[in-house]
Amino acid sequence: MGAAVPALADPGPQPLRIGLVRYLKGVSTIDISCSEDFTVINKREQKTLVTSTYLEPIKVFARPDGIEIKTAKGQLVKTNDVIRICPAKPGGLLTISAPTRSFSQYRGVLEIQRINETTALLIVNEVSLEDYLMGVLPGEMPHTFHPEALKAQAIAARTYSEKGHGRHSASGFDMCDTVHCQVYIGSGGEKPSTTKAVKETQGLVAKYDGKLILAVYSADCGGRTQSGEDAGLMDAKDYLKSVADNDGADKPDYCCTNKSHKWIKIYTPQELGTALNATMKPPLEGLKSIAFCEYDESGRVKRVDIVDGKETRTITGAELRMTCGSTVIRSAKMIVCTVEDGKICFEGKGWGHGVGLCQWGAEGLAREPSKLNAEQILKHYYTGIEIGKLH
Ligand SMILES: [Zn+2]
Ligand SMILES: [Zn+2]
């Protein structure tokens, strides 16, 4: 048969393949509908398996011996190939719903396969870079931020995405839809302000020495960003310098309007010992003391000495943070002290790794009194870069 594959909007030179693992991990049944008529084709032969109107959702099941598609009229089609769900018109929006999960909507094409012959489905959204970014921005930055902060975020995310091709190649996609790569909420979460920022910066990326930069970013740098060198990103050390996120130590940080810019976490020695033992091998035999012994130039703790009844162990501040939980110990830019009853207090600033663009700082810089534009904001966080066209 080999029916023609419906024409889609020009996806650009190389569409991105995003693994939808945040809400859809492990599902074995999904419902798919589309705002346009759509077809289901098999990937190998590009043969049409099902055609459906926009009024007729389909169901897709992972079976022990392949994938089964059930049409709205009850027709069953089985295949052991990967299937592609393609809207008949550009801009068609595909909606996925799965039992017990919230539904979500995507631009582009959906590709569905079983994971390693199991009855779990892997759903990949093949989408153009610009369409992808419209679903990333509202997941990564509050849509109420200043337009110039949103544009700076759009350029950083575009640059980061373009370098993200093949990041999860072993799993069959480029990037996942979680904080591990970039939060991607699809077209259902798009907001007018974030979409405007993507459109107004279309094709713009950040380059250093003519090459795309590793445009890492985090929520709140705590008043000074960490250098690429201290973060172990040696390839990016020329433009990921540690920069002060204020006009001087006695002035407010650009990121200080973040409500959780400063944070405190207090543990009893027993609670902290239990938390640390999530990763300590062999486990601590009663926590005696914890000391921060070395800091990097951004004020992030580099070396933590932990003493139990037997020995002293050394971990990094980043490891301490990941062990206790990155939402509890929000950054490694912190001090430790003992408070009443021998309790241990971590007192810190910022949220996230603090390398590259500071999102709350971008918001602060875009507003009075600095009023920087997107390019100026990016040049503050990425030293010596240029903004230019991707192609
Ligand atoms: Zn990822
Ligand atoms: Zn900051």
Same domain, 42 and 191: no
Same domain, 146 and 279: no
**pLDDT tens per residue across span 296-350:** 999 999 999 999 988 999 999 999 999 999 999 999 999 999 998 899 999 999 9
Instruction: Say what the pLDDT of residue 13 is.
Output: 64
C-alpha 122 – ligand 1 centre gap (Å) = 14
Residue 7 is assigned to a structural domain of this protein: no
Q: Which two tokens stand for residue 173?
A: 């996609």
Does residue 371 register a pLDDT over 60?
yes
C-alpha 256 – ligand 2 centre gap (Å) = 8
Ligand nearest to the CA of 253: 2
**pLDDT tens per residue across span 147-177:** 999 999 999 999 999 999 999 999 999 999 9
Whole-number Å distance between alpha carbons of 134 and 124:
17
Instruction: Say what the pLDDT of residue 331 is.
Output: 96
Same domain, 330 and 266: yes
C-alpha 140 – ligand 1 centre gap (Å) = 14
Buried b (16+ CB within 10 A) or exposed e, 329-358: bbbbbbebeeeeeeebebebbbbbbbbbbb
Residue 4 is assigned to a structural domain of this protein: no
Residue 257 is assigned to a structural domain of this protein: no
Ligand nearest to the CA of 20: 1
Name the pLDDT band for 11 (thresholds 50, 70, 90): very low
Same domain, 121 and 143: no
C-alpha 275 – ligand 1 centre gap (Å) = 26
Check whether the bond before 138 is cis (ω within 30° of 0).
Answer: no
Ligand nearest to the CA of 223: 2
The protein residues having their C-beta less than 5 angstroms from ligand 1 (an ion) are 176, 180-181
Same domain, 224 and 373: yes
Whole-number Å distance between alpha carbons of 160 and 157:
5
C-alpha 388 – ligand 2 centre gap (Å) = 24
Instruction: Say what the pLDDT of residue 14 is.
Output: 85
Name the pLDDT band for 122 (thresholds 50, 70, 90): very high
As beta bridge partners, residue 40 has 50, 85
Query: For residues 119 and 63, is the Cβ–Cβ distance under 8 A?
Result: yes
Residue 1 is assigned to a structural domain of this protein: no
Same domain, 298 and 361: no
Whole-number Å distance between alpha carbons of 213 and 327:
27
Number of structural domains in the chain: 3
Instruction: Say what the pLDDT of residue 391 is.
Output: 83
Instruction: Say what the pLDDT of residue 4 is.
Output: 46
Name the pLDDT band for 72 (thresholds 50, 70, 90): very high
Per-residue pLDDT, averaged over 103-119, amounts to 94
Whole-number Å distance between alpha carbons of 164 and 109:
19
Domain boundary among 127, 149, 164: 127
Residue 144 is assigned to a structural domain of this protein: yes
Query: For residues 322 and 215, is the Cβ–Cβ distance under 8 A?
Result: no
Residue 325 domain boundaries: 262-349
C-alpha 167 – ligand 1 centre gap (Å) = 7
More reliable by pLDDT, 8 or 65:
65
Residue 36 is assigned to a structural domain of this protein: yes
C-alpha 312 – ligand 1 centre gap (Å) = 35
- CB 248: neighbour CB atoms within 10 A? 7
C-alpha 268 – ligand 2 centre gap (Å) = 30
Same domain, 93 and 178: no
C-alpha 178 – ligand 1 centre gap (Å) = 6
Helix (H, G, I), strand (E, B) or coil at 227: coil
Same domain, 320 and 295: yes
Residue 52 is assigned to a structural domain of this protein: yes
- CB 256: neighbour CB atoms within 10 A? 19
C-alpha 176 – ligand 1 centre gap (Å) = 4
Per-residue pLDDT, averaged over 379-388, amounts to 98
**pLDDT tens per residue across span 256-293:** 999 999 999 999 999 999 999 988 888 998 899 999 99
Same domain, 364 and 239: yes
Tell me the angle at which helices 317-324 and 269-276 cross, rounded to the nearest 10 degrees: 100
C-alpha 386 – ligand 2 centre gap (Å) = 21
Domain boundary among 127, 159, 182: 127
Residue 368 is assigned to a structural domain of this protein: yes
C-alpha 325 – ligand 2 centre gap (Å) = 21
- In this prediction the pTM is 0.92
C-alpha 235 – ligand 2 centre gap (Å) = 23
Does residue 10 register a pLDDT over 80?
no
Same domain, 370 and 222: yes
Same domain, 149 and 109: no
Domain boundary among 101, 127, 153: 127
C-alpha 168 – ligand 1 centre gap (Å) = 7
**pLDDT tens per residue across span 217-232:** 999 999 999 999 999 9
Q: What angle do CA 370, 375, 379 make, to 5 degrees?
A: 80
C-alpha 246 – ligand 2 centre gap (Å) = 8
Same domain, 216 and 83: no
